């Protein structure tokens, strides 16, 4: 039993989709969330920059005595996970391996689609993770950067978003994929529209859900699960708290955010190098 909190971070508030799944699956866990809203998006940045930001945030979380770190951001998982796993004294989980496991378990045809930010797709992290599990897979990856903006604008259905989805996903339809990994924090909120564009046969893999399951397994195996009668809580920190943060956050989380603490960027400690 370990009642220390779990640290979860993302480039912004999209990672609250992971928090929502974790709290549903592990209601006794206390969660500290950090959204790097001042410096997002990560999806258009280089590996070097995203790794530097991720180390700073991990350090911030460690100072709050977390027992494990979940990298909820697909881009940071793709670019910085291995560095964090090497450097941090606690378990560090990303969203890519759980998503790849679920996709491999789900596919019948062995044809898998992956959508994500430019940086995630460029990194090839999902492709590598999938091929490590099964070499015979046919993988079709498409960067779909506008989807983040559609979700943030609340534009998750209707004619124009539908056309954008069909435009982006045409390649996946042509490739005949039967399983598509939603490789970005924001995409679970587009599930309905994506299913329409892909056709009913394609299974959508929600990395957030799979990551919560993977976290539950790690806590169980390492005997780190919390034991609290009243249930855990959620404290959110953000490097910028702009207008609309609470409304958007509630949409990702599926319930209102209690409170968001603002963290100055100058308070983000440099990782000791
Ligand atoms: N959180 C990012 C991801 O999952 C999307 C937003 C961004 O580009 O920062 O890849």
For helices 74-87 and 125-133, angle between their N-to-C axes, nearest 10 degrees = 70
Ligand 1 touching residue 185 (CB < 6 A):
yes
- What is the pTM assigned to this prediction? 0.95
Q: Tell me if 14 CB under 6 Å of ligand 1.
A: yes
pLDDT the model gives residue 59: 94
pLDDT of residue 34: 96
The residue to which tokens 């009243």 are assigned: 230
- How big is the CA angle at 161 (ends 155 and 163), to the nearest 5 degrees? 175
- The CA 229 to ligand 1 mean position distance, Å, reads 34
Q: Atom 7 of ligand 1 has which residue's CA nearest to it? A: 41
Reading the chain (273 residues) residue by residue, the pLDDT tens digits are 999 999 999 999 999 999 999 999 999 999 999 999 999 999 999 999 999 999 999 999 999 999 999 999 999 999 999 999 999 999 999 999 999 999 999 999 999 999 999 999 999 999 999 999 999 999 999 999 999 999 989 999 999 999 999 999 999 999 999 999 999 999 999 999 999 999 988 999 998 999 999 999 999 999 999 998 788 999 999 999 877 778 889 999 999 988 888 888 777 765 443
pLDDT at 273: 38
CB 232 within 8 A of CB 30: yes
Considering only CA atoms, give the Rg of the chain: 18
Number of the ligand 1 atom closest to the C-alpha atom of 120: 10
92 lines ligand 1 (CB under 6 A): no
pLDDT value for 270? 55
Four-CA torsion 28, 96, 46, 185, nearest 10 degrees: -60
Catalytic residue list = 73, 184
Write the residue with the smallest CA distance to atom 9 of ligand 1: 41
Residue 272 has what pLDDT? 42
**Alpha carbon of residue 152 to chain centroid:** 15
Ligand 1 mean position, distance from CA 227 (Å): 32
How far apart are alpha carbons 187 and 193 in whole angstroms? 10
Which candidate, 141, 192, 183, 140, places its Cα nearest to that of 165?
Answer: 192
Pocket probe for ligand 1: among 34, 96, 117, the residue whose CB has the most ligand atoms within 8 Å is 117
- Return the pLDDT at 77: 98
Does the C-beta of 117 come closer than 6 Å to ligand 1? yes
Give distance in angstroms: CA of 130 to centre of ligand 1: 20
What spacing in Å lies between the alpha carbon of 1 and ligand 1's midpoint?
33
DSSP-derived secondary structure for 22-43: HHHH-TT--EEEEE-TTT---T
């Amino acid at each position: 039993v370990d009642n220390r909190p779990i640290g979860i971070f993302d480039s912004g508030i999209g990672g609250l989709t992971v928090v929502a799944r974790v709290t549903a699956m592990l209601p006794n866990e206390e969660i500290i969330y950090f959204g790097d809203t001042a410096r997002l998006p990560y999806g258009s940045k280089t590996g070097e920059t995203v790794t530097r930001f991720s180390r700073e945030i991990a350090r911030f979380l460690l100072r709050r005595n977390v027992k494990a770190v979940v990298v909820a951001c697909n881009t940071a998982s793709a670019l910085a996970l291995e560095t964090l796993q090497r450097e941090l004294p606690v378990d560090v989980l990303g969203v890519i391996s759980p998503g790849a496991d679920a996709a491999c378990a789900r596919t019948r045809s062995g044809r898998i689609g992956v959508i994500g930010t430019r940086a995630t797709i460029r990194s090839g992290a999902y492709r590598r993770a999938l091929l490590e599990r099964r070499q015979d897979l046919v993988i079709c990856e498409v960067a779909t950067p506008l989807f983040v903006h559609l979700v943030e604008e609340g534009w998750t259905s209707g004619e124009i978003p539908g056309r954008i989805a069909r435009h982006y996903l045409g390649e996946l339809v042509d490739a005949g994929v039967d399983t598509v990994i939603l490789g970005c924090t924001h995409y679970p909120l587009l599930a309905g529209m994506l299913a329409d564009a892909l056709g009913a046969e394609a299974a959508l893999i929600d990395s957030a859900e799979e990551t919560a399951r993977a976290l539950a397994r790690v806590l169980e195996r390492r005997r780190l699960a919390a034991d609290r009668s009243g249930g855990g809580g959620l404290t959110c920190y953000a490097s910028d708290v702009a207008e609309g943060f609470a409304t958007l956050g509630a949409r990702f989380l599926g319930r209102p955010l209690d409170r968001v603490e603002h963290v100055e960027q100058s308070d983000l400690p440099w990782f000791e190098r």
